[in-house]
Structure 1
Amino acid sequence: MGGTASGKSCVGRVLESLGAERIDLDDVSREVLASDDACVEELVDAFGPEVALGGALFDEEGGRWVPCDGSWSVDRAALARAAFATSEGAARLEAVELPYIRERLADRLTAVSCASSRPATCVVEVPLLDRVEDLLPLADDVVWVRTGKDRRRALAEGRGMDGGDFDARVKGQPTDAYLEARATAVIDNDGDLATLERRAREWWDANGLEGGGDHGCS
């Protein structure tokens, strides 16, 4: 777990390279926005037709929004602008999207557990732990990738995120105190990339986990 630009995805990829099954909730969110028509329709209803890629029209007879080009797709940039402009907008986005994300996560975890040759370890990258706290009993360990806010901001800006966008997102994320209280292990991200990768491998080894070869974090 960890907030925006904390390095949790890098740690997740290292653990994946060592043999873990990796599920990134940000990727699950993108899957939902790309393929779940019911979710997209709810988002258009909540934020307006501008968040639909290609636009949307309101069908007065049917009493619902319909996509202009015949299929639903989200304009992610427009949705981010609409949702993260205010705390109320961010809460509205979560209220719509989280049930779909949780359902898809449950499906993914079920598929992993039922596979004939499943990995011994499944790593779920969680950006907003407080939104899925009731799922914590399913986890053997809760690993926090701890990164200072100033460093996270610099990393986020380095990969193209607007500083104002970063600040707005972080404002709605769990505090360090909250994450520390729930973590069973901490991996500090206060050095270079190689150091973070090494610490991820050390956590893996310390827990006696087994898997495939190490390909690092690209």
Structure 2
Amino acid sequence: MIIGVTGGIASGKSTVARAFEALGVPWVDADDVAREVVEPGEPALAEIAERYAHEQGPGVLNDDGTLNRRALREIVFADPAERRWLESVTHPRIRARLVEHLARLEASGAPYVLLVSPLLFESGQSEMADRCLVIDVPEALQIERTAARDDVDEAQAHAIVAAQMPRAERLARADDVLDNGGSEEEMRRRVAELDRRYRQITSDQSHGK
């Protein structure tokens, strides 16, 4: 069974995934895979570099040929059309790579695996999951954490949050919700509850219930 895990930026998806991992549940992070597909030598990076080769300043490549994520982020968050173009280049490649990673994890014999993705619903990756778990925090906390973590000002943090699926829509599409606005202890307790439920679902399915 594949559990899709999502949530708005700075909701604590990776922290929750590591709590599941401590209980013996493997996971793949779509953000990690997204970085893989734009590494030097990858076709997606070549397409991105070509499109923005005429941007003012250094463009979207660093001196060592790696992607300048901050420069690219500023372009795509300022122009929805550019964001859609970028997604058309990266999302199919990310999906194909995720399928490979998930197949390896499923072969490990774990009762279930996690697909952690900030764009689980937007990218259609939710179709790969049997259930969807939304990590939820108040929007004000998202903005505060994003500004601190990513070294952006509050206005850009607002723009990043606003560019994502609305919180209410994400919650409406969830099979399960984990409120991550409290303490780490509370989060771990909720993860343990969900782990028991997911193992029971997997057991029931294997016995034809």
User: Any idea what SS the aligned residue of 1:128 has?
Assistant: coil
The 2-side partners of 1:205 and 1:36 are apart by 42
2-side partners of 1:198 and 1:155: how far apart?
22
* 1:98 matched residue in structure 2: 91
Contact 1:39-1:97 within 8 A present in 2 as well: yes
1:31 maps to which residue?
36
TM, length-normalised to structure 1: 0.78
Mapped to 1, the partners of 2:151 and 2:191 lie a distance apart of: 25
Aligned residue in 2 for 1:216: none
Q: Percent identity?
A: 31
Q: Does 2:148 correspond to 1:144?
A: no
TM superposition shift of 1:197? 2.3
Residues 117-151 of structure 1: CA deviation (Å, up to 9, x unaligned): 33221101111133333x43432221011111001
Matched, 1:170 2:161: yes
**Helix, strand or coil for the counterpart of 1:187?**
strand
Q: Which moved more, 1:44-53 or 1:15-24?
A: 44-53
> What amino acid does structure 2 have at the position aligned with 1:141?
R
Residue aligning to 2:204: none
Q: CA deviation at 1:35?
A: 4.8
1:208 equivalenced with 2:199 (yes/no): yes
Look up the match of 2:111: 120
Match of 2:17 in 1: 12
Which of 74, 87, 99 in structure 1 is aligned with 2:80? 87
Query: Residue 35 and residue 13 in structure 1: after superposition, are their counterparts in 2 closer, same or farther (change >3 A)?
Result: farther
Gap change, CA 1:89 and 1:137, over 3 Å in 2: closer
> What is the deviation of 1:194?
2.4
Runs of 4+ in structure 1 off by over 6 angstroms are none
CA deviations on 1:43-77 (whole Å, 9 max, x unpaired) are 112222611222xxxxxxxxxxxxxx7xx521222
User: Unpaired runs of 5+ in structure 1?
Assistant: 55-68, 210-218
C-alpha distance in 2 between matches for 1:124 and 1:141: 10
Q: 1:132 aligns with which of 123, 127, 134?
A: 123
Q: Which residue identity is paired with 1:53?
A: N
Deviations 1:86-114 (A, max 9, x none): 2222222212111111111111122223x
Paired AA for residue 76 in structure 1: R
Q: Distance in 1 between matches of 2:18 and 2:40?
A: 24
- In 2, distance between residues paired with 1:138 and 1:92? 23
Correspondence for 1:51 among 55, 60, 66 = 60
Which whole-Å deviations, capped at 9, do the CAs of 1:148-170 have from their partners, x for residues lacking one?
A: 10011112223243123322222
Could you tell me the TM-score, scaled by structure 2's length? 0.81
Deviation at 1:198?
2.1
Contact 2:122 2:165 in 1 (8 A): no
* Bigger shift: residues 18-27 or 43-52: 43-52
- Once residues 170 and 27 of structure 2 are traced to their aligned partners in structure 1, the CA distance between those partners, rounded to angstroms, is 20
